[in-house]
Amino acid sequence: MAHPFGGKGTKARQPFDFMVAAFRALGVSPDAILSASAREMKRLILDPLQAMGQPFHQAPGPDGWPEAEADWITPQGLAARIDWAMAAPERLVRPLPDPRDFLRTALGNRAGERLTWAVGAAESARDGVGLVLASPDFNRR
Amino acid sequence: MDRRIFLRGLGTLGCSAAAHPWLTTLTLAATPGENRLVVIILRGAMDGLDVVQPRGDAGLAAARPGVLAKAVDLDGFYALHDGLSDLMPLWAAGELAFVHATSTPYRDKRSHFDGQGLLEAGTGADLAPAAQRDGWLNRLLAVLPGAQSETAWAVGREAMPILAGAAVAQNWAPDQDLQISPPARALLEHVYDADPLFHRTSVAAFDLAGMEERAGQDTDLIADFVAERLRGPARIAAFSLTGWDTHKGQERAIRRPLDQLQRAVLRLKAGTGPEVWGKTVVMAMTEFGRTVRQNGSGGTDHGTGGAMLVAGGAVRGGAVHGRWPGLAEADLYDRRDLMPTSDVRDWAAQAMMGLFGLDQATLEDQVFPGLRMDAPKGLIL
């Protein structure tokens, strides 16, 4: 059965969709985003989107954003996703969920064996939640 | 940037409300007394046998043919890992002590999250994780006469459940984003290994922007901030140091967290100055110890009994406390782990009794419900 947050896992989630899916999985409400200062907004959302390769509302040309996953999972793009996955959740949600629960919330039954093992082995809640968000499992749709 | 446009994108979500602190965490607490307590949570399970090595026990070398690091003699039986050798002047000055073979009541399940949950809740293992809603430093605040809003601080980016609860504590974190720790990176590499695109790309991604370089600076900022608060009204502070989960290549992997620990202690001492440092106790504790025998990867796995570091001018230093259980197989917990001979909470309670003049009944009923304190051990001056 398909999980409501996930799809078939054949394409990379584009950065904006990646972030939105992360907010949903973390239970961050639009009100919470609205209450952020302009500075937090830039730091938590706008700068990371740009670093991931998708500056907000600046689609290049009439064809829009590329679809191939190799266009998104670049060294720079992936580094930015990892950074965000590790640092942003704690700024968004206190306390962080138990990573083992978060894995189920975020991926349902789509989580691979390796990810499930790694999340259980993480040394802190921060690392465990970050692993889920940085995983191929979460970054594909 | 128009936030409303962004929200329109989010608006399709229909998310539920959740806590959204745009804040980060350093745990510091200000009380009327003059004494100070700093608790450092060592996340990932520090290997007490490598850090405070029982060289006088013949079982040690046999269990650790490749993992044991160079060490400096402490008292003829124990030796201190070379990675903490900058702390030896504190040992000589009587400002540094250790507790060995100690643990929380957590047993057998070996989960970092649950182990840390119990360590910070300060309860017995009989309480379900969901019932462990507040931390023992917060309960300490509740019984400290005259605690103010600036008495306690949770510091750093990691959430500090140890200070969570009804009593007011402040939070602070350095204004920079922390990078990925080496243990987290190793786990992520394991996940990426099975995926050709992510694997190939991550090799270059991990090299970008010096991903691991800033963690040390972060620790310095945290320690300096705590020291500054302790010179002011703060009396209680808590923060985390991570990176202790040394399943592989421990000889190398443990050096970075050890260096951060030693730097944190030295900066707290330097930053508070002689007068305040003389009234300060720093306790560094971890969720559990590691296996006595090294594993096939030159590392150690999740264990039970471990070690605690206690530093500060208010400490009766120059001693390794705790009854040594021995490393013969029959002496081990479950024939694999160091047998705990004391409860971490007991040492914390002893420190609080000495520092804040709390009586035993308050400590046993309110701060650590269910704990039965041992006889005084002379840990605090």
pLDDT in tens, B254-277: 999 999 999 999 999 999 999 999
Alpha-carbon distance B295 to B300, whole Å?
5
Torsion of CA A43, B225, B43, B284, to 10 degrees: 180
B380 domain residue, yes or no: no
Alpha-carbon distance B366 to A81, whole Å?
43
Distance to chain A for B334, nearest Cα, Å: 21
Residue B11 has pLDDT above 60, yes or no: no
Among the partner-chain residues B1, B23, B188, the one whose CB lies closest to the CB of A41 is B1
Residue-wise pLDDT for A11-54, tens only, equals 899 999 999 999 999 999 888 888 888 888 888 999 899 889 89
Q: Minimal Cα distance from B17: which residue of A?
A: A29
CB–CB of A83 and B180 under 8 A? yes
Q: What pLDDT does residue B159 have?
A: 81
CB–CB of B184 and A86 under 8 A? yes
User: Counting Cβ atoms within 10 Å, is residue A61 exposed (0-12), middle (13-18) or buried (19+)?
Assistant: exposed
B356 domain residue, yes or no: yes
Q: What pLDDT does residue A11 have?
A: 87
Give the ipTM: 0.89
Same domain? For B245 and B282 the reply is yes
**DSSP alpha helix (H) spans, B157-195:** 182-192
The mean pLDDT of B345-355, rounded to a whole number, is 96
Among the partner-chain residues A75, A125, A139, the one whose CB lies closest to the CB of B113 is A125
Q: What is the count of structural domains for chain B?
A: 2
Same domain? For B197 and B319 the reply is no
Among the partner-chain residues B11, B161, B197, the one whose CB lies closest to the CB of A95 is B161
CB–CB of A136 and B112 under 8 A? no
CB–CB of A78 and B202 under 8 A? yes
Same domain? For B167 and B30 the reply is yes
**For testing contact with chain A, the best of B187, B192, B290, B301 (most A CBs within 10 A):** B187
Q: What pLDDT does residue A67 have?
A: 83
pLDDT interval class at B183 (50, 70, 90)? confident
The domain that holds B326 is classified in CATH as 3.40.720
Q: Report yes or no: B216 and B223 within 8 Å, Cβ to Cβ.
A: no
Q: Output the DSSP codes for A10-50.
A: SSBPPHHHHHHHHHHHHT--HHHHHTS-HHHHIIIIIHHHH
B112 domain residue, yes or no: yes
Q: What pLDDT does residue A9 have?
A: 56
Residue B359 has which token pair?
């009586």
Distance to chain B for A66, nearest Cα, Å: 17
B14 domain residue, yes or no: no
Same domain? For B31 and B144 the reply is yes
Same domain? For B108 and B56 the reply is yes
Same domain? For B171 and B186 the reply is no
Residue-wise pLDDT for A72-87, tens only, equals 999 889 988 998 999 8
Residue B6 has pLDDT above 90, yes or no: no
B49 domain residue, yes or no: yes
* More reliable by pLDDT, B75 or A47: B75
pLDDT interval class at B2 (50, 70, 90)? very low
Same domain? For B225 and B325 the reply is yes
The mean pLDDT of B306-335, rounded to a whole number, is 97
Q: What pLDDT does residue B51 have?
A: 98
B249 domain residue, yes or no: yes
Distance to chain B for A49, nearest Cα, Å: 12
Same domain? For B137 and B187 the reply is no
Percent above pLDDT 70 for chain B? 86
**For testing contact with chain B, the best of A124, A135, A139 (most B CBs within 10 A):** A124
B8 domain residue, yes or no: no
Among the partner-chain residues A42, A87, A115, the one whose CB lies closest to the CB of B177 is A87
Q: What is the mean pLDDT of chain B?
A: 87
pLDDT interval class at B376 (50, 70, 90)? confident
Residue-wise pLDDT for B118-162, tens only, equals 999 999 877 665 566 799 999 999 998 888 888 999 998 778 899
Residue B27 has pLDDT above 80, yes or no: no
Alpha-carbon distance B247 to A36, whole Å?
39
Residue B161 has which token pair?
């459940």
Alpha-carbon distance B40 to B308, whole Å?
10
pLDDT interval class at B178 (50, 70, 90)? low
Q: What pLDDT does residue B198 have?
A: 95
The whole domain housing B209 covers: 179-213
- Residue spans of the domains in chain A: they are 15-139
Alpha-carbon distance B84 to B81, whole Å?
6
Q: What pLDDT does residue B128 have?
A: 63
DSSP-derived pairing of the beta strands B96-103 and B78-81: unpaired
Same domain? For B188 and B248 the reply is no
Per the rule left: phi > 0, alpha: psi between -120 and 50, beta: everything else, B299 is beta
Q: Output the DSSP codes for B35-84.
A: -EEEEEEEET---HHHHEEETTSTHHHHH-TTTPPPEEESSSSEEEEGGG
B2 domain residue, yes or no: no
Same domain? For B91 and B184 the reply is no
Q: What pLDDT does residue B130 have?
A: 56
Residue B3 has pLDDT above 80, yes or no: no
Alpha-carbon distance B247 to B297, whole Å?
7
